[in-house]
Amino acid sequence: MKIFKKPLPFQEYCLHLKKKGTIGFVPTMGCLHEGHVSLIKQSSKKCNYTIVSIFVNPLQFGPKEDFSRYPRPRKLDLDLCRKEKVEAVFLPDEKTFYPEDFSLLIEETMLSTTHCGALRPGHFSGVVTVVSKLLNLSLPDFIFMGQKDYQQCLVIKRLLRDLNFPVKIIICPTLRENDGLAKSSRNIYLSEDERKKACGIYKALSLILKKYKTSSKKFTPADWKKLNSILTGELEKIPDFKIQYADLVDGESLKDISLHSKKIIALVAGMLGKTRLIDNLLIK
């Protein structure tokens, strides 16, 4: 497995690979878990070469967020990539990736304005900028991302379309722990007690899905509002969970549900102690 720290040799290598076959790209911030591995596996199935990037991107963290304490177990990460037969890992060093006078930011101005975008100013601009750079370096045919970060998937889909990147996004299902908690690098911040409470989020989401699936009526926007209140009520029962948002919205625009909404997504974010957790479930 090749490991690159500098952008240009990495790009040269990807150019060389691209002449021989298809490239699947899995961008990550490391502290890899089975969720990441599922993306790597899907890429390996679909593409001739799988490239993984591991980079805790400072641009997407707010000043009061967990950038410096974000876990960075690089040896374990690389061992896992080796085990999965990844072709190459890009492990950029921050100073060469963002030179001191780096002065460009890309901003998606619609989907990024709600939910996590509203709570974390600059977050999606940081994501879109880093993903654009990483795509220009890794030159993939496909980018693999997790539904766990639903809004991020929509924003990147829009980036690919609006800036004409010749890349297709493959959105992979959320991998969960046995009790339903979505796997996340941040779960290691949870105390034992918080960890037990955290599975309540998926329980609440599943209950909403069940209520929708078992109802025989055609839902009006008012019915969706009622279901949304049930979701909020269930989440409020989780001790110490501070809801940031709990919304049933249109799954394409992330706006209010209308009679024309083809997809409906339930989006949840909140704080359990000092740990921010997000999750979602496609309801329709």
Contacts with ligand AMP by CB under 6 A lie at 28-29, 35-36, 38-39, 145-146, 148-149, 172, 174-175, 182-185
If the CB atoms of residues 151 and 261 are measured against ligand AMP, the closer one turns out to be 151
Q: How far is the CB of 153 from ligand AMP (least distance, A)?
A: 7
Q: Is 36 a catalytic residue?
A: yes
Q: Which two tokens stand for residue 81?
A: 């990539």
For the beta sheet containing 241-250, the strands, ordered from the edge strand earlier in sequence to the opposite edge, are 241-250, 264-272, 275-282
Q: Which residues pair with 168 in a beta bridge?
A: 142
Q: How far is the CB of 280 from ligand AMP (least distance, A)?
A: 11
Q: How far apart are CA 166 and CA 168, in angstroms?
A: 7
On whether the CB atoms of residues 260 and 224 are closer than 8 A, the answer is no
> What DSSP assignment string belongs to 215-249?
--SPPPHHHHHHHHHHHHHHHHTSTTEEEEEEEEE
If the CB atoms of residues 133 and 148 are measured against ligand AMP, the closer one turns out to be 148
Q: How far apart are CA 64 and CA 51, in angstroms?
A: 31
If the CB atoms of residues 237 and 263 are measured against ligand AMP, the closer one turns out to be 263
Q: How far is the CB of 53 from ligand AMP (least distance, A)?
A: 9
C-alpha torsion angle, residues 180, 187, 134, 128 (rounded to 10): 80
Q: How far is the CB of 118 from ligand AMP (least distance, A)?
A: 19
If the CB atoms of residues 132 and 261 are measured against ligand AMP, the closer one turns out to be 132
Q: How far is the CB of 184 from ligand AMP (least distance, A)?
A: 5
The three-class DSSP label of residue 55 is coil
Q: Which two tokens stand for residue 25?
A: 């790209």
If the CB atoms of residues 149 and 247 are measured against ligand AMP, the closer one turns out to be 149
Indicate which residue of 36, 115, 123, 260 is catalytic: 36
Backbone dihedral region of 115: left (phi > 0), alpha (psi from -120 to 50 degrees) or beta? left
Catalytic residues: 36
